[in-house]
Structure 1
Amino acid sequence: WEYACRAGTTTRFEFGEQFDGTAANMNRTRSHPLPCGSFAPNRFGLFDMHGNVLEWCSDWHSPTWYSNSPVKNPRGPESPDEDHHVLRGGGWGFPAASCSFRDRISTFMKGPSHGFRVVCEIHRQK
């Protein structure tokens, strides 16, 4: 997730080290989520990876997983230690800390700052 968010860069955010309020919906610069595409996409063509809503990821949360997981592309445990999924990326009401923000949420919880990303693979015709 972080690699896609940073679009291959190594800075705190895909757009650099500092957040100036113009590249994403976070740090309470607006008081609600915005429609997808309200900001320019990152270098990979992905919209709204920083801020807007916390992304509910398919990875189960485990308090010890990252200390023992592979460094490259950790996918989370196969089954839950507890009934929580991983949240990534911050949201409109959260401080602009970095794209490495992560949290957990119960599978039964919902809120105005939570969302998920729908992905559809597109095949080019030859």
Structure 2
Amino acid sequence: MLTVGYENDAAVLSALYSDLGINLAVSGTNFVMREDGAPVGLMRAEVGDFVEITHFKVKNEEINPGDREFFLRAMLFKFSLNPVPLAVKGEHPGLVRFGFRFEDGYMRLNSSEVNLSGSHCGAE
């Protein structure tokens, strides 16, 4: 079963960062997707004037492509419960379906305006 939640255990995060090829010290706000209790995905964010999603990775995505979609939708739903401005650096057309718009070098969205009824897996 897939579950998603906040994680602050540095040992768990350090191992997951390494598994996902993220060569940074553990920092920021980290959310982890688990499959049957094992960490398999990470959303790392920095909180300031807005919540900047800096990393979003899932293990073995090529085997289970739906896991990435589940994780992204679960996190956007969680953010929508306590509205915050979200940002992802760069242009990511796959986020437009959720209501993100590109401005000032970031994909931006007020999480209270997220559209979770859009297409799945990036399909139009």
Q: Do the two structures share a fold, i.e. TM-score over 0.5?
A: no
**TM-score when scaled to structure 2?**
0.23
Higher relative contact order structure (alpha carbons within 8 Å, sequence separation ≥ 6): 1
Larger radius of gyration: 1
Q: Which has the higher helix share?
A: 2
